[in-house]
Amino acid sequence: MLIVREVGPEAMRTVETWRDGRGPYWGGPCPAGRGCCRYNHTLTNRAEYQAQWSALPTPCSMRPHPALVDNVLRNGDHATANDRRLADELVHISLAASSAVRERDQFTVRVVEHALAEGITQFLDLGSGLATASAAYATLTTAPIRAGAAANIVFVDNDIRVDEVNRAWLRQHSQPGLRATAIRGNCFAVPGMLSRLCQAKLLDRTRPVAALMVDVLHFFERRAPRAIIGSFARNLPPGSIVAVTHLSDEPLLPKLPRPTRQALREDTARWCRAYQRCVPPHPRAFGPARFATVVSDVDLLEPGITSTSCWPHPDTTQHPRAPFTLAAVGRIPTVAMSDKTPVRT
C-alpha cells in the first residue's frame, strides 16, 4: 500500500514506499516502547522460545505480521497499513506473490482431500494464519466424510492477533460434523504441543493425524529443521501424514538456463530480506538437496519432492519465480524410529 502525503504550499505529492531497501527492517529499539517485543530481539532468545510450548513472547504491535500480509495477498482483511505496505513490496519483487498464496492454498486442499480419502479425520493446521482464510477448514466444511465420522481441526499459531481473530471467528461459525479449535502456541515444540492437545482432548493419538506444515518450516531458527519432522515421526501414530513445504532458492528441474537459476536466487534473497520488516522469526531458503534431508524420517508419498503448484505430480516448473516452494507429503512409518538415523531435537 502506498501512502501519499501533501507537502508544502504547492501541495506537491510524494510517495512513501518500502521498496528497494528503503524503510525499516527488524532490529533496534521498538517504536512501541517498553514491554512490546524485547524478548524477540536476539536470535538466542527466539531459538529458546521455539523449543517451548508455552511462555511465548508477545509479537511486536508495530511491525507487519506474516499471516496478515498473506491475507492481503488474498485480498483479505484484518491487515494494518504496514501489512499492506509489505504486501505491495512483495508484489514488486515478484508478480507471482499472490498466485503463490493461491497455489499454497490449493496444495492444502489436495492434501486434505487425500487424507480424508484415507479415512483421516484429525487435522493440525500449524502456523495456521487466519482461520477465516484457511483452505483446510474450507475443504472440511464441503468435502464428504465417511459415514459416522466427525472431523476435527486444530489451528495452532503463535501470533496473538491471529489467535484472537481465530477464536472470535470460530465462535460464530460452527459447522455440523466439524470440531474446530484455535490454540495459541509454538508449533515447533512438537512433543509439548501434542501432549497439551491430548490432555485437552483435542487430539486422539490412537488414530492417524494429518499435520499441515505449509509455509511454516522455513521460519524455524533452532538447529536443523529435520528435527521437527523427526519429532512428528516419533510422536504421531503410524499411518499419520505430514505435509511439508519450504521456500527454495534453487529450482527442482535440472539444467535450467543459468540466468533463470540466478534470477531465482537473487529474487528469493530479496524476498527473505523484505520479510525482515516483519515480526520474527524470518524465513530462510534452501535447496532441494537439503529439503530431502529434512523429510528423510518419513516415507514420502509419490512423487516425492515436488512443488506446491504440482503436487501430487512431479514438478514441471520451467520458469520458477520467488517464492518458489518445495513440497512433500510423508507418511509416519511403521518402522520404529530407533531403527532409523537418530535426529537431534
209-220 tens-digit pLDDT: 999 999 999 999
Q: What beta strand segments (E) does 73-193 contain?
A: 122-126, 151-157, 178-184
Q: Where are the domains of the chain?
A: 3-93, 97-339
Q: Given this model, what pLDDT does residue 318 score?
A: 96
Q: Pick from 273, 269, 274, 268: which is nearest to 89 by CA? A: 274
Q: Looking at 53-62, 69-78, 91-100, 155-164, which range is the least confident one? A: 53-62
The mean pLDDT of the chain is 87
pLDDT at 89 over 60: yes
Q: Given this model, what pLDDT does residue 28 score?
A: 67
pLDDT in tens, 268-298: 999 999 999 998 889 999 999 999 999 999 9
pLDDT band at 15 (very low <50, low <70, confident <90, very high): very low
314-325 average pLDDT score: 96
Q: Pick from 297, 301, 327, 304: which is nearest to 230 by CA? A: 297
Q: Given this model, what pLDDT does residue 146 score?
A: 66
Q: Given this model, what pLDDT does residue 142 score?
A: 87
Q: Given this model, what pLDDT does residue 13 score?
A: 31
Per CATH, the architecture of 97-339 is what?
3-Layer(aba) Sandwich (3.40)
Question: Over pLDDT 70: what percentage of the chain?
Answer: 88
Q: Given this model, what pLDDT does residue 258 score?
A: 96
Q: Which three cell numbers stand for residue 145?
A: 466424510
pLDDT at 192 over 80: yes
Question: Over pLDDT 90: what percentage of the chain?
Answer: 66
Q: Pick from 329, 333, 336, 339: which is nearest to 117 by CA? A: 329
CA distance 59 to 10: 41
CA distance 186 to 182: 12
7-14 average pLDDT score: 32
Phi, psi of 199 (to 5 degrees): -60, -35
CA distance 278 to 96: 20
CA distance 299 to 339: 14
Q: Given this model, what pLDDT does residue 174 score?
A: 84
pLDDT at 57 over 60: yes
CA distance 248 to 239: 28
Q: Given this model, what pLDDT does residue 301 score?
A: 98
Q: Which helix (H) or strand (E) holds 221?
A: none
Q: Given this model, what pLDDT does residue 168 score?
A: 95
Q: Which three cell numbers stand for residue 66?
A: 506474516
Q: Given this model, what pLDDT does residue 17 score?
A: 61
More confident residue, 108 or 39: 108
Do the beta carbons of residue 274 and residue 60 sit within 8 Å? no
Handedness of CA 204, 191, 157, 168 (dihedral sign): positive
pLDDT at 343 over 60: no
Handedness of CA 83, 88, 90, 95 (dihedral sign): positive
